[in-house]
Structure 1
Amino acid sequence: MKFDQLRRSKLNNWTIVHLRYLVGLAFFPSGMTKLIGHRFTSISTDNPIGYFFEALYQSGFYWNFLGVAQITAGILLMTQRFALLGTLIFFAIITNIWIITLSLSFTGTWVITSLMMIAVIIILIWDHHKLIPLVSNKKDLVIKHFPPVDKIWIIAGISYTICFTFLSLFNPMMEETSGLLTAILLGLIFLTFMVSNYIYFKNRKKIL
């Protein structure tokens, strides 16, 4: 089956859209932790992993910058419309993290980062046609046009972004109301998922 046929498949589009959501979500907790200036781990500095993260934490603004970069990549992926830019930023960051988890022998973490690497590569392959003009000098090159992202996914991405931001930012700092807030936000996430998918699959003839 040709790439353009795969690209126009409703199921394939649904899979990529939600893979972007999943990958984008992965950076929110750790990114927000760095952005607000908290330590990412409590591992002792006697351990090479703990020493490494403590050194990053003590770097000051660079620690916050890492958080900004992760959150930015996550938000761009969640928007769907600017997902390619988010994917490129995410790819640069996750490649660095992947190498770190391998070199420092993180127990089990390298499996997670490897899966994230595979996911982001799949997303890059999906949008590779948008990158062709950057690496090709052919004047007669024709890039096929594919339908834009459905607005329902953009709206859903905004909802997910707001919910994940509040979950990552405020939940760790709240005590009495944290349980209620978490329940409300998780409810909104579930509602967003159900409504967006219902609207999308309701019209089966419509191509994303």
Structure 2
Amino acid sequence: MKFDNLRTNRWNQWMIIHLRYLVGFAFFPSGLVKLMGERFTRISTDHPIGYFFEALYQSGLYWNFLGLAQLTAGILLMTQRFATLGSLMFLAILSNIWIITISLSFKGTWIITSLMMIAILILIIWDQHKLRPILNYNKPSSVKEYPDPGNIWIVAGVVYAFSCIVLYMLDTVNGNIYEKWLSKMFLVIILLTFVLTNYKAYKNRKLRVNT
């Protein structure tokens, strides 16, 4: 009953939607770097961390595959509709990264990855009702239905994901005046999308209260 109250609370739904955006975005920079075949760090190979990342970079196709996996997990989360699949994929990738940051004694990075682990576990718990049929193997079970994010949040997620990818692509070249203007335009699109979606959500909430 408590989970039902948490799951149907509109404020909680809003926080989960934006947590998906935030967590999904976290994989975009590192994922795109790997997918484009670039080095993730410039740390000297004399240091264990630099040696580790250089070895991954030299693997070639595997380096690109890691980037594609990270980017896919981030996009799935931001689409909202496929967020559960994105959360599971994100957990598998992040668990590996989290252990690496602890094992190699990354200064401060392990704190960030730990917070990301907490965030992704929250997202999985939020969708735990969808996973019960898998966990309750060979036992009769049903998936309880809860309100899904509206189309406005799905569209917003697509806009965020596409804009972030374009911004990265523009940032990887020596930008001319047109590329700088394009970057500003996509930043404005992201800001307007955030403002408009949240304004509409707030307006709909007021209408429901008044009715």
Alignment TM-score, normalising by the size of structure 1: 0.95
Change over 3 Å in CA distance of 1:139–1:184 after alignment to 2: same
Identity of aligned residues (%): 59
Match of 1:183 in 2: 184
Q: Which runs of 4+ in 1 moved over 2 A?
A: 137-143, 174-182
Structure having the larger proportion of residues in helix:
2
Work out the CA distance in 1 between the residues paired with 2:130 and 2:146: 10
Q: Secondary structure at the match of 2:37?
A: coil
The question of 1:103 aligning with 2:100 is answered: no
Work out the CA distance in 2 between the residues paired with 1:168 and 1:95: 25
Match of 2:12 in 1: 12
Match of 1:198 in 2: 199
Q: Greater relative contact order: 1 or 2 (C-alpha under 8 angstroms, separation 6 or more)?
A: 1
Q: Which moved more, 1:133-142 or 1:85-94?
A: 133-142
Match of 1:122 in 2: 122
Q: Which consecutive residues of structure 1, in runs of 5 or more, have no partner in the other structure?
A: none
Q: Which consecutive residues of structure 2, in runs of 5 or more, have no partner in the other structure?
A: none
Q: Secondary structure at the match of 1:38?
A: coil
For 1:192, the aligned partner's letter is: T
The question of 1:131 aligning with 2:131 is answered: yes
CA contact (8 A) 2:29 2:168 kept: yes
The question of 1:151 aligning with 2:151 is answered: yes
CA contact (8 A) 2:132 2:141 kept: no
Q: Which moved more, 1:33-42 or 1:167-176?
A: 167-176
Give a deviation string over 1:80-114, Cα, whole Å, max 9, x none.
00000001010000100000000000011111100
Aligned length: 206
Work out the CA distance in 1 between the residues paired with 2:14 and 2:131: 22
Work out the CA distance in 2 between the residues paired with 1:170 and 1:51: 29
Alignment TM-score, normalising by the size of structure 2: 0.93
